[in-house]
Amino acid sequence: MEDATEQPSVSLPDDLTEEIFARMPAKSVQRCRCLSRAWAATLSSQGFVDRHLRLANRRGSPRLYILPEYGSRDTTVHAWSPGRPLARLRRVVAVTGQCRGLVVLEADRPMSSIDFTYEVNNYVWNPSTGQITALPKGKQNLGIGYDTRIRKHKCRGELPPACEVYVLNSMGQWRPPGFATNFCTDQSIFAQGHMYWVAEPDNKFNFERIIMSFSILPPPPVKMYPCQIRELDGRLCVFNNTDELKRSYDIWLLRDHQGGLWDLRCSIDLDTPPLADTQLKHSRSVIPLGSVDDARRLLLRPDLGWIKSESLDSHQLFMYRPATGDVEDLLAGGGILTHHTMARRVMAPYDESLESTRNHDSKSQS
């Protein structure tokens, strides 16, 4: 019998190895780019980045930002997921919603110790890899989205009705502003290659709201009470109260921008078990933060504006499966993420991603 040390090594086919890489954490994949020039090219290609984004986030628990408490001197953002330790990410003031794993940070630094003035800087950052790029200064109300037509991320700076766009990996300048013709609220998101606002037709305040992207987009085929818009599963999501006298909500997803077609993702009734048996019974409203497991489960938390100050235990985080009605309390296991944390800090989901901030001055967090 030959010695075991002399047995030929078994190598996996490249396609199977690539399939394994596509399910690994982004930082681990980055290290694997050092294997060879061929692997560096493969693992850096946009096709693999898209595949990794799809497969690495398909299963498992949600990944969340925990933002600093408002007014606190501590500006550290942490990452958390059930069953995983709390990880320090970066010192910032605020974080916008994420898009394909990239977020916009707002960080400040003191300019004067006499009058306590601060300089505010904005960055595009990938928390999975640590890569970060500074944005041109002078804009506010920043957000980020992804244009599928040119396969690039776009940042937007807005002061309604004006809006300017900055394309990552471009010439480094903000495009001339565009203007919306109707009154827009401060609710805006970037999804499906367009930026959307909740707007009022004819500058009149009423509850028959519309969604616009420098053009009128018909809302879902229901009467719209005050609604919220979000990005969910890569699509524009309208979350509205179907009856102002009840705690019942519909989640609508935009199917086709050109045709103005909508799909009803699910309905949520806080007055019906099992949701009625949770601490959500103390909240008038609930907010969808995101989804996991190929959108089969929704991440829900109470609307902070509708919780009584003395109801600390009402600050919860739930995973809800619309198909079965199952509810999982993500705080039930205890640990560092508590009701106190939920009550005082803002949370936002993010994706494991290899997306680059795509600029010459990008750098990695040590």
pLDDT at residue 74, rounded to an integer: 61
DSSP string, 307-349: S-TT-GGG---EEEETTTTEEEETTTT-SSS-HHHHHHS-EEE
pLDDT at residue 32, rounded to an integer: 93
Mean pLDDT along residues 187-191: 71
Mean pLDDT score of the chain: 72
pLDDT at residue 355, rounded to an integer: 92
The alpha carbon dihedral of 66, 67, 73, 74 has a sign of positive
Residue 364 has pLDDT above 60, yes or no: no
Mean pLDDT along residues 245-268: 86
pLDDT band at 360 (very low <50, low <70, confident <90, very high): very low
pLDDT at residue 43, rounded to an integer: 94
pLDDT at residue 336, rounded to an integer: 45
pLDDT at residue 20, rounded to an integer: 93
pLDDT at residue 152, rounded to an integer: 81
**pLDDT tens by residue, 100-158:** 888 887 766 655 556 555 666 788 888 888 888 888 776 666 778 787 777 888 776 76
Strand 143-147 versus strand 131-134 pairing type: unpaired
CA pair distance 69, 33, nearest whole angstrom: 38
Q: Give me 105's structure tokens.
A: 């940070």
pTM (predicted TM-score): 0.69
Q: What share of the chain is helix, strand, coil (3-state, %, to 5)?
A: 15, 40, 45
**pLDDT tens by residue, 63-84:** 777 766 655 566 666 666 665 5
pLDDT at residue 150, rounded to an integer: 77
List C-alpha distances in Å: 215 to 38, 220, 236, 362. Answer: 45, 16, 15, 35
**pLDDT tens by residue, 212-252:** 445 678 888 877 656 778 888 778 888 877 777 778 888 89
pLDDT at residue 48, rounded to an integer: 95
Which residue in 260, 202, 199 sits closest to 227, CA to CA?
A: 199
List C-alpha distances in Å: 116 to 94, 217, 357. Answer: 19, 45, 31
Q: Which residues of 87-116 are buried (b: 16+ CB within 10 A; e: fewer)?
A: eebbebbbbbbbbbbbbbbbbeeeeeeeee
Please report how the helices 46-56 and 37-44 are oriented relative to each other, as an axis angle in degrees rounded to 10.
70
Residue 266 has pLDDT above 80, yes or no: yes
Residue 344 has pLDDT above 60, yes or no: no
pLDDT at residue 365, rounded to an integer: 44
Identify how many contiguous H helices and E strands the chain contains and give both numbers.
5, 25
CB 43 within 8 A of CB 51: no
More confident residue, 31 or 186: 31
DSSP state of 82: T
Return the domain boundaries, the chain: 13-56
pLDDT at residue 104, rounded to an integer: 83
**pLDDT tens by residue, 302-336:** 776 555 554 555 557 788 888 888 888 776 655 44
List C-alpha distances in Å: 236 to 121, 252, 302. Answer: 28, 8, 21
pLDDT at residue 207, rounded to an integer: 35
Please report how the helices 46-56 and 14-21 are oriented relative to each other, as an axis angle in degrees rounded to 10.
60
Q: Give me 7's structure tokens.
A: 């047995």
